Structure 1
Amino acid sequence: MSTQTSRLSPEKVWLGITPTLWWNDDFINIDIGIPFEQCISEMALAGYVGCSVGHKYPTDRKTLKAALDLRGLRVSEPWVSTYFTIAAMRKQTIQKVRQQLAFLQEMEGGSEDPRKADLVVAEFGHAVNPLPVALFPNCPNLTDGQWDQLLDGLHDIGRIAKEEGRRLCYHPHLGTGVMAAEAIDRLMENTETSLVHLLLDTGHLAAAGVDPLAVTKRYASRIKHIHLKDIRADVVARIHADGLSFESAIEAGIFTVPGDGSITTFPQILTELAEVGFAGWLVIEAEQAPAKANPLQYAKMARAYLRETLGW
């Protein structure tokens, strides 16, 4: 075990997991009927202390908070799909950001616990990942004008989040205008470091042909939130060869938990983050079909991999 990697400690790095192992929140037909209570109980059983929010979670804040508190879980992040690059959606996007910030305030209620949730966003204007179309050939290339709209909008919601004591973390995502290495560089080079942070999603980067270790080295100081997941390279090849949609790619098993796929650089990635003193949420994610990949089994596999890699 690397002494550098071991500097990521549980005092500063908190392990979460997303409910996408138990069901899919983008494609609700990828579901075998696992209820909310079973999902969060298995998260806790597998050794996690945080989770993102899924569509089966109770909408009543008190009910949700009580259920998570009972299992020693906190919300690691809510998600906002931004739509700055299409017409008449700026106001609605900002309204959704404010709603999610209010949700976090209700959930954390002035707690002094340092494990605060981050606000995670990705631009879904012109995105093709929700559509039943070939993923890679149809990914959007944003125009200069659309880039201006996106950057201006991100700075606005970044300020709103900062005023609320939250970090806005941008998630490069398959099927969107910020997927390729050049787009990630453009985003990072044209946003204020205090307002727009980077979410490192190793799976989305690798599947897009972007080296997650290279991104980590280049932007380590701006990475404030992590989605750690692996890919199956043979499935990525099939997506290109057969023109699969994002939904079909998930059903075919494009993603899995770290240590179970084709990415070999997780220890180096975590070392790079340790070098810059990363503090925040490290969230396991594997958008898998639960009928093919038992959620609890894979959650425990990921926790075992982290225990071996981090030493805790």
Structure 2
Amino acid sequence: MGKTQILWGIAPIGWRNDDIPEIGAGNTLQHLLSDIVVAGFQGTEVGGFFPEPAILNKELELRNLRIAGKWFSSYIIRDGIEEAAKEFAAHCQYLKDVHADVAVVSEQTYSVQGLDKNVFKEKPYFNDEEWQRLFAGLNHLGEIAGRYGLKLVYHHHLGTGVQTEEEVDRLMAGTDPALVHLLYDTGHAYISDGNYMNILEKHMDRIGHVHFKDARLKIMEKCKQEGKSFQQAFLQGMFTVPGDGCIDFREVYKMLLKHGYSGWIVVEAEQDPDVANPLEYALIARKYIDRHLLNVPATN
């Protein structure tokens, strides 16, 4: 993508959901990857249903697609650094085998994102000692990622202990910039704090991966009023692709270009594929990107 070296991907979560395997269960890997080609994206992230590297690599090569990365649920606070490191090393080996660029990490100790709890009011918090354990653990995982030629990118996420702008600030301040990078997610930032530019502006030099997730304002407000869980909220349509919600991705993209961001921008929107046709929404995102982003110059 020109001088910025930006690669555009789209996540498999629009076709199948790891947390609710029954939705989209009929969408095969071949179907998903072929839809991605039709929609004009260059790659995707690994879903929980993806096969062993040899099989996946063949399907990718047939379609000239690439893998950006894969989610890793860390439990550094709950299980300790040694246990997390063992599991993460196997995760990184898989990513190396499929020629990925980043390892996406999210600390899931106390997470409510998969529970029937109000995601807007019942998020967990870490105490000072737990924060210190998390810092040390992530630095160690970052070292492991580096051995496999990968970059660890931390995913701030609704319903977890690293969700808010203040928590992202603390994580960035407490970890080694050479080892721990940030996955910047527009949707999670906006729904958590009502603002999606602050994290980007403050931590631009730490961003190693980007998710473009849009939000439907009216549905978000309704879900907040009704105290919905994370899964209930996305099943009701709180998330969507760029161009179908209320986030202005033009200012986000300008900021990325201005600072010479190089890496993946992955469209990601948790939706029920029986309600939101995955290819249809991938094409909506592609149309928005082509019309409103790719010809936008960086601001001075």
TM-score under structure 1 normalisation? 0.91
What letter corresponds to residue 19 of structure 2 in structure 1? D
How big is the shift at 1:90? Answer: 2.9
Could you tell me which of 163, 173, 178 is aligned with 2:157? 173
* 1:41 alignment counterpart: 34
Q: 2-side partners of 1:98 and 1:163: how far apart?
A: 9
* 2:298 alignment counterpart: none
Task: Note the residue ranges of structure 1 that are not aligned, 5 or more in a row.
Answer: 1-7, 109-115
Kept in 1, the 8 Å contact 2:4–2:260? The answer is no
Kept in 2, the 8 Å contact 1:172–1:201? The answer is yes
1:77-226 to structure 2, matched below 5 A, reads 77-86=69-78, 88-108=79-99, 116-226=100-210
How big is the shift at 1:295? Answer: 0.4
Q: Which moved more, 1:31-40 or 1:72-81?
A: 31-40
Q: Which moved more, 1:120-129 or 1:96-105?
A: 96-105
* 1:112 alignment counterpart: none
Q: 1-side partners of 2:98 and 2:255: how far apart?
A: 32
How big is the shift at 1:210? Answer: 4.4
How big is the shift at 1:93? Answer: 1.6
Confirm or deny that 1:303 pairs with 2:286.
yes
* 2:258 alignment counterpart: 275
Corresponding residue SS for 1:241:
helix
Q: 1-side partners of 2:4 and 2:230: how far apart?
A: 36
Kept in 2, the 8 Å contact 1:80–1:96? The answer is no
Q: 2-side partners of 1:33 and 1:186: how far apart?
A: 41
Deviations 1:106-143 (A, max 9, x none): 223xxxxxxx5211101100000111122122100111
Corresponding residue SS for 1:27:
coil
Q: 1-side partners of 2:180 and 2:7: how far apart?
A: 21
Runs of 4+ in 1 over 6 A off after TM superposition: none
Could you tell me which of 13, 17, 21 is aligned with 2:6? 13
Q: Considering only aligned residues, what root-mean-square deviation do their CA atoms show, in Å? A: 1.5
What letter corresponds to residue 12 of structure 1 in structure 2? Q
Task: Note the residue ranges of structure 2 that are not aligned, 5 or more in a row.
Answer: 296-300
Size of the aligned set, in residue pairs, is 295
1:224-243 to structure 2, matched below 5 A, reads 224-243=208-227
Q: 2-side partners of 1:9 and 1:268: how far apart?
A: 19
Kept in 2, the 8 Å contact 1:180–1:210? The answer is no
Q: 1-side partners of 2:12 and 2:273: how far apart?
A: 11
* 1:52 alignment counterpart: 45
Kept in 1, the 8 Å contact 2:43–2:66? The answer is yes
How big is the shift at 1:26? Answer: 1.6
Corresponding residue SS for 1:127:
coil
Q: 2-side partners of 1:92 and 1:46: how far apart?
A: 40
Q: 1-side partners of 2:205 and 2:118: how far apart?
A: 35
Q: 2-side partners of 1:199 and 1:252: how far apart?
A: 25
Corresponding residue SS for 2:73:
strand
Confirm or deny that 1:62 pairs with 2:49.
no
Kept in 1, the 8 Å contact 2:75–2:108? The answer is yes
* 2:19 alignment counterpart: 26
What letter corresponds to residue 99 of structure 1 in structure 2? A
Percent of aligned pairs with the same amino acid: 36
* 1:254 alignment counterpart: 238
Change (3 A) 1:132 1:29: farther
Q: 2-side partners of 1:293 and 1:68: how far apart?
A: 25
